[in-house]
Amino acid sequence: MRTFDYTQEIPVVDGKPPAKSIDEVISKPLGTKPGKVWKALITVTTLMLLVGGGALGWTFYKGIGVWGNNQPVGWGFDIVNFVFWVGIGHAGTLISAILFLLRQRWRTGIARFAEAMTIFAVMCAGIFPAIHTGRAWLDGYLFPYPNANNIWVNFTSPLLWDVFAVSTYFTVSLVFWYIGLIPDFATLRDHTDNKLKKTIYSMFSLGWRHSTRHWQHYEKTYMILAGFATPLVLSVHTIVSFDFAVSVIPGWHTTIFPPYFVAGAVFSGFAMVQNVLIFVRQAFDLKHIITINHLEKMNQVIIVVGTMVGYAYAMEFFTAWYSGNQFETFTFINRALGPYAWAYWTMVTCNVILPQLFWVKKIRTTIFSMFVIGVIVNIGMWFERFVIIVTSLSRDFLPSSWGMYTPTIYDLGILMFSFGLFFTNVLLFVKTLPSVSIAEVKAVVDGAQPSHKGGTH
Amino acid sequence: MKGDKLEDKDNKKDVNYWRGFRELKNDPEFLEAKKNEFAEELPLDSNEPGMSGLSRRKFLTLLASSAALAATACSDYRDKGAIVPYNRKPEEVTVGAPSFYASTCTSCANACGILVRTREGRPIKIDGNPDHPVNKGKICATGQASILDLYEPSRIKDAMLKSGAGFIASNWADADAKIIDELKKTAASGKEIAVITHTVNSPSLKILFEDFSAKYNTAKFYSYELINDTNKFSAFKKSFGREGLPVIDWKEAKVIVSLESDFLGKEGNPVESMRLYAESRDVMKKDGEFNRLYVVEGGFSVTGANSDYRIRLRTDAIEEFVYALIAAAGENKSDINGLISKYNLKKEAALSLVEDLLANKGKAIVLAGNALPESTHIAVNKLNDILGNTKLYSKESFDAPVMPLTPREEIEALISRMNSGSVGMVIHFDTNPVYHFSSDYKYPDALKKAGMVITMSEQINETAELSNYALGISHNFEGWGDFKPRTGVYSLQQPVIAPLYKTRQKEAALLNWMTDNPGNYHENDYMNYIKTNWEKGVYGAAGAKSDFKNFWFNSLHDGVVLFNEKTDGTFSFKNEAFMPAPAFRASSDAVVILNKSAFLGDGRYANNGWLQEIPNPISKVVWDNYAAVSPAYAEKLGVKTNDLVEITTGGRTLKAAVFVQPGMADDVVAMDLGYGRTGAGVIGNGVGFNSIELIQKNPKLSDRLYADGKITKAGGTYELITTQEQYPIDHERYNDIHFKREVIREGVYEEYKEKPNFLKEEKGETALFNIVPSYEFTTTKWAMSIDLNKCVGCNYCVAACNVENNIPVVGKEQVGKHRHMMWLRIDRYYGGKSDDPKVSFQPMLCQHCDNAPCENVCPVAATNHSPDGLNQMAYNRCVGTRYCSNNCPYKVRRFNYFNFRNNLADGYYEQTSLSLMHNPEVTVRSRGVMEKCTFCVQRIMDERQHATQEGRPLDGDRVRTACQDACPTNAIVFGDLTKKDSEIVKHRNHELGYHVLEEINVRPNVTYIAKLRNIKPEKKS
């Protein structure tokens, strides 16, 4: 039996590819014509986008009554999807910012991709608060702008905090992502002889010449932005959780929500990044750059945050019982045994029970099993939001106003629209921009950095 | 310092160009002044006398902004239509001020007095006439919503002539000529002219009929009602030899026993009986004693829901029960004990009933429902007689129609004459016998053989479809009339709007056919006719001191005339009417009871969306009737709610959906009448099941009660929609949940007498605090109180709120999605077990919380708090996030998921005629906006405006909300909490007052007065 040498760090990049080959491998999808698989995939995703867009259009034409939302359940798929997508976004920032600050070098292979997914996920998320309003054409009222009527927004409303939290998050993520892309744009500019591409790359590379001075500025900026983005990882989902925690509704009105939501967000985000990366490394021959080791590390994060989420579920029940508050107790018993029990147990199975399989090394290092569990986690996390929002609203204080919520095809259509948007963006991204940071990977190739031990370490 | 030096230097430099000696000499004062470029102040905000206070800059600013505003206003995307100046203002109309007209409601035979509120000549709201001695300012839900029928888009707008399968527009002149010709021919040929009408309670109409048959001597008049009191009337006549029914002295009734009699819902004049019943349930009166209500029934009525003791008994056994009570009154209790074990009655309730009846001789009243057979009514009369309860019957004041209903046999004779061809003309005088008559009569076939058939109706109905002429008649608000519902009570109906279409009131049409000059028709023809009759009759009888003209206008103003009518004094029970010991049937078949619909009358309001959408008070089902069965019976039949069953009685079958109704007696099926119409219109067609199909021509018991029912599962389902979720009340998690959550708090009357403060002691004082200082309401603070002792759950307030606040009708499908828009709802809770639940009602509306949880979550501050304590909604600001609704613990907010007016039946309720109906003081909300109860802020503002105009402080007692106005039992009190001597303060501080969900500290402003049940306290053993 081969013993594992724990004193040796696992190399971030398999083998020792020369810098030129890294350039070529990563930028290859950008220069080649799309393959059949890519075309098939984008056909599917744009179809989802179009059909879902039809559902959205019908909603604008008729009113949001075409959805299943009703009097006790004022929020349904709309806000479930919003929280879901914001959550997906969290992995990107966590990987690119927090892991960067913690000097986790294994992040280099996946950071760019994760960041891009953050941006796309936040775009998807941003749609929902905008369209969920009854009069979407008046959404501008949500922004504090000076106006003749002297009407200001209501700063005590968590929904307004959301507006700021999400827009800040999107802006910072975008800037962070773009700064990281500048050296790569320069590399691409230098490699291409297509005039149009050269012009575009030149524009976006902002005159980058790979000079030491540039690198110095770059590293500092990147560090500062990473520092800037780090609190956002915690704040955005904390504020999203305030939408619920600040209310009076049993099942919403609870202080555990901020950490619980952040853990859940990282949980689902990592699962989504892991899922998509599996495809990307397969499709673009990046297996030596995005290694099994990376994926395993992600799975390890998944099991940690998944267990935190499971703990939160347990604590919610404990608090409900321990508080002696009959409304709270009823809400939680109703979640587990009431008409939406199926949703609750789907959530528990997907989020708490099945991810435990990752304790087995074989499962967390096998592509197929980790992919399946990743999908399951995302299903579970979507249901978590459904359970929190719908079951709490459907049976609150007065039994006279209880009512069930049933989504319609338009709800499903708009959910499909968001997935269509997300994956279309992902597909366009992998064909137009380097999905792995060229510059950073070069820096983590074995031997790229000077070592006091000399040679390989 | 440095600057000074520089300046000095500069000054020295410019020394050549001095403007005066002071400059030349560098006078410091001058130098200081010179720093200012303009010696005089800039006229930024000019305050000069004689000027408008407008600076040049401000003027330019305003000029530019108004130009911009004008430009944007022109580009408004909404078409607002043309604005027409009111330059020929009618007399009596002040723009913006409502006018009220006293009139009479014609929705049913009760003829309640009403006040119609009109704005700019359009009727927009109906309230009861406070001067009317019967309904005293209150009016039922059907009456309130009948305003919709005036503006109903599908009204017949002229005289219509049958052509092929449909109708073509004709005109009255043509129709008159043909009809008069036919009338003359028919009369001459000796064939009958049959006029079929509903209850006639109008003295002038009776005279008109007499005049008509004088002119056309073969004319005969028939009146019928689907829901009638015939058995009650005939039993009373047989028992006491008197026509009509005596008015009951409710105040003296300590014990009320209702036998399948829904006097708090659908029987007699419930507007009156509810008020009189609740007057003896007043906790504000310190000496007021509670009456005790026993209900024995097979179905589940509103009266049963309000009872202190409720005994479930299959309806056909009620007669047996009455005989047992008669025996018990003679100190023989073996019969009642026998019955208790035979029908498994609630023993303690039944024995208590006997005990109370015997202990309260002469102070109790036993009422029998109008679906019960005549023999039961006679037995009840006997029981009341031997207990001395006839003392509570008025000897002078009787309720009776002006013309009695036509006996069943005569209707049958008419139909056989129609079949034999000896009827030349049939005139349906605003009746719909094709729908209402038992199918045994085969009335549609008879109509075909009847010569000319004329139907006068507001809308095309089943009968009109089979007629040669469909004549569009005027709505109640477009015509004249007089009524006499009770001894000594005359009331007048007057038009409050000119006919919207080329319609005539039905009486005027008949009158016109009697003249030789039908072309001279005038709207006022019938008014003149009534006037003549009154001059001859009422004027003299009333003994008025003024001349007739004054008397007439005063009567018209008041809407009602009262005078002493002489009736012969006493009456006594005729024993020969009473059958001492009949053989009781012991049927094991199902009992089928057919009840009056809660709001649709006999089905004539089926096309009224508001009424279809007000939930059934007990089951909360909307837009349908159903076969109600008890949970145990449903289990026996193997059916559950929504399953279709076949009900068979006397060879007739009807397929209907089952609704499992907790609290029904076993082996009983109860169905409402008035549904399943085919000719009602877009709204009412195909709603529910036509239970008239079960009515027999010659029923054994009564036309609405059958004891030979067979129920079988038919297979298939039909979805019934309720506004409240049907959670399993027997389940431990849900059982008595409203009590556990203290949403409903109740007590026992006797215990309250001993310990008035029990409610507060039960819970102890909870110290609730705010982390921020509370706002002090110093000038005004609005609040409401609802006395649950008086609230019987009738839903009249819901109807009033709908009309007042322009609430849209959303339709069955949308109610099924929990999107009904009613701002005020009556919550109904079942306590105890489902076989015999204890019902609690609770009107639920926006609580206008001081710490309103909806307010702080609105991102755009569209819902906020007014300084006078209202939780208000700015519709224009609302973007529709629905966060407020989610965060409302009472779930009283309503969201416009669609433009609901446009959404139902292809925009049926968005048609032009309906826009006239809307209350102009209340915004019509569009899609995407949240709305809710405003405490009728428009009425508050009206009072505020009056107070300002009259230079007096605002008087909270003068503001009455629409629901308060409508509440027949005066359970709702509204007012200003800062006015210490007001009613509302008394209610709010009452020891029985509580707030729903007190502990979440939202500080609601609706106080509920806990209900006391007048049950005997459990004996301490």
For residue B373, the domain's CATH number is 3.40.228.10
Counting Cβ atoms within 10 Å, is residue B131 exposed (0-12), middle (13-18) or buried (19+)?
middle
Nearest residue on chain B to A329, judged by CA atoms?
Answer: B733
For residue B849, give the CATH number of its domain: 3.30.70.20
Cβ of A134 and B820 within 8 Å?
A: no
Nearest residue on chain A to B903, judged by CA atoms?
Answer: A62
Residue B433 domain flag: no
Does the beta carbon of B883 lie under 8 angstroms from any beta carbon of chain A? yes
Same domain membership, residue B988 and residue B846: yes
Partners of A334 on chain B (C-beta within 8 Å) are 733
Same domain membership, residue B718 and residue B805: no
Distance from CA of A29 to the nearest CA of B (A): 43
Nearest residue on chain B to A67, judged by CA atoms?
Answer: B897
Cβ of A400 and B880 within 8 Å?
A: no
How far is it, in rounded angstroms, from Cα B201 to Cα B106? Answer: 10
How far is it, in rounded angstroms, from Cα A232 to Cα A168? Answer: 8
How far is it, in rounded angstroms, from Cα B284 to Cα B987? Answer: 8
Residue B786 domain flag: yes
- Given B399, B425, B451, the domain boundary residue is B399
Contacts of B516 (CB under 8 A, 6+ apart): none
Contacts of A380 (CB under 8 A, 6+ apart): A346, A347, A348, A349, A350, A351, A354
Distance from CA of A328 to the nearest CA of B (A): 12
Distance from CA of B900 to the nearest CA of A (A): 10
Cβ of B879 and A138 within 8 Å?
A: yes
Q: Pick the closest to residue B939 from B970, B979, B902, B966 (CA basis).
A: B966
Cβ of A133 and B1000 within 8 Å?
A: no
For residue B706, give the CATH number of its domain: 2.40.40.20
Same domain membership, residue B702 and residue B799: no
pLDDT of residue B680: 87
Number of domains chain B is built from: 4
pLDDT of residue B720: 93
Same domain membership, residue B600 and residue B645: yes
CB A240 within 8 A of CB A162: yes
> For A142, which of B743, B859, B893 is closest by C-beta distance?
B859
- Tell me how far CA of residue B294 lies from CA of B329, B365, B374, B596, B833, in angstroms: 17, 10, 21, 21, 19
Q: Over chain B (1021 residues), what is each successive 10-residue block's mean pLDDT? A: 47 62 79 72 55 72 81 60 74 82 90 90 91 90 92 90 85 88 89 91 91 90 90 90 87 91 90 91 84 92 93 90 88 84 88 89 90 90 89 84 88 91 90 91 89 90 90 91 88 91 90 85 89 86 83 89 76 82 76 92 90 93 93 92 91 92 92 91 90 89 89 91 89 90 91 86 74 84 93 93 93 92 93 91 93 92 91 92 93 92 84 88 91 93 92 91 93 92 91 89 92 81 46
Same domain membership, residue B787 and residue B714: no
Counting Cβ atoms within 10 Å, is residue B845 exposed (0-12), middle (13-18) or buried (19+)?
buried
Residue B29 domain flag: yes
Neighbours of B46 (CB within 10 A): 14
Identify the residue among A58, A60, A159, A248 best suited for mutation to test binding to B, counting B beta carbons within 10 A and taking the highest. Answer: A248
Distance from CA of B1000 to the nearest CA of A (A): 8
Say what the pTM is: 0.87
Nearest residue on chain B to A250, judged by CA atoms?
Answer: B889
Task: Walk across the sheet containing B292-297 and list its strands.
Answer: B309-312, B292-297, B255-259, B364-368
Let me know the angle formed at the C-alpha of B401 by B399 and B406, rounded to the nearest 5 degrees.
Answer: 135
Residue B105 domain flag: no
Distance from CA of A341 to the nearest CA of B (A): 15
Residue B981 domain flag: yes
Same domain membership, residue B697 and residue B791: no
Q: Pick the closest to residue A441 from A220, A275, A281, A228 (CA basis).
A: A281
Residue B638 domain flag: yes
Contacts of B174 (CB under 8 A, 6+ apart): B159, B161
Does the beta carbon of B847 lie under 8 angstroms from any beta carbon of chain A? no
Chain position carrying tokens 């520092």:
A227
Partners of A335 on chain B (C-beta within 8 Å) are none
| Enclosing domain of residue B279 | 231-399
Nearest residue on chain B to A248, judged by CA atoms?
Answer: B887
User: Token digits for A248?
Assistant: 């009076």
Residue B1020 domain flag: no
Give the bridge partners for B368, in sequence order. B259
Number of cross-chain residue pairs from A and B with Cβ atoms under 8 Å apart: 177
Residue B969 domain flag: yes
Same domain membership, residue B717 and residue B798: no
CB B129 within 8 A of CB B890: no
Let me know the angle formed at the C-alpha of B980 by B975 and B983, rounded to the nearest 5 degrees.
Answer: 45
Partners of A396 on chain B (C-beta within 8 Å) are 889, 891
- Given B351, B379, B399, the domain boundary residue is B399
Distance from CA of A41 to the nearest CA of B (A): 35
Write out chain A's pLDDT in tens, 457 residues.
Answer: 455 565 566 666 666 777 777 777 777 777 788 888 889 999 999 999 999 999 999 999 999 999 999 989 999 999 999 999 999 888 888 888 888 888 777 777 778 888 888 899 999 999 999 999 999 999 989 988 888 888 889 999 999 998 899 999 999 989 988 998 999 899 888 888 888 988 999 999 888 888 889 889 998 998 898 888 888 888 888 999 999 999 999 999 988 999 999 899 889 988 988 888 888 888 777 777 788 888 888 899 899 999 999 999 999 999 999 988 899 999 999 999 989 999 999 999 999 999 999 999 898 888 899 999 999 999 999 999 999 999 999 999 999 999 999 999 999 999 999 999 999 998 899 888 888 888 777 777 766 666 665 544 4
Neighbours of A357 (CB within 10 A): 17
Q: Which domains does chain A have, with CATH numbers?
A: 32-444 (1.20.1630.10)
Partners of A69 on chain B (C-beta within 8 Å) are 882, 897
Partners of A246 on chain B (C-beta within 8 Å) are 856-857
Nearest residue on chain B to A326, judged by CA atoms?
Answer: B741
CA–centroid distance for A66 within its chain? 28
Same domain membership, residue B757 and residue B706: no
Bridge pairing between strands B782-787 and B972-976? antiparallel
How far is it, in rounded angstroms, from Cα B824 to Cα B800? Answer: 10
User: Token digits for B412?
Assistant: 């049958």
Does the beta carbon of A65 lie under 8 angstroms from any beta carbon of chain B? yes
CB A80 within 8 A of CB A390: yes
Does the beta carbon of B839 lie under 8 angstroms from any beta carbon of chain A? no
Cβ of B881 and A159 within 8 Å?
A: yes
Does the beta carbon of A83 lie under 8 angstroms from any beta carbon of chain B? no
First to last CA, chain A: 24
User: Token digits for B691?
Assistant: 């239970």
Same domain membership, residue B329 and residue B242: yes
Bridge pairing between strands B255-259 and B292-297? parallel
Same domain membership, residue B930 and residue B810: yes
Q: Pick the closest to residue A309 from A260, A245, A373 (CA basis).
A: A260
Does the beta carbon of B1000 lie under 8 angstroms from any beta carbon of chain A? yes
Instruction: Identify the three-state secondary structure at position A351.
Output: helix
pLDDT of residue A6: 59
Cβ of A247 and B860 within 8 Å?
A: no
| A 337-376 residues inside an 8 A Cβ radius of B | 337
Same domain membership, residue B789 and residue B701: no
Distance from CA of B884 to the nearest CA of A (A): 9
> For A74, which of B738, B853, B882 is closest by C-beta distance?
B882
CB B847 within 8 A of CB B830: no
Same domain membership, residue B995 and residue B891: yes
- Given B371, B399, B427, the domain boundary residue is B399
pLDDT of residue B573: 85
pLDDT of residue A452: 63
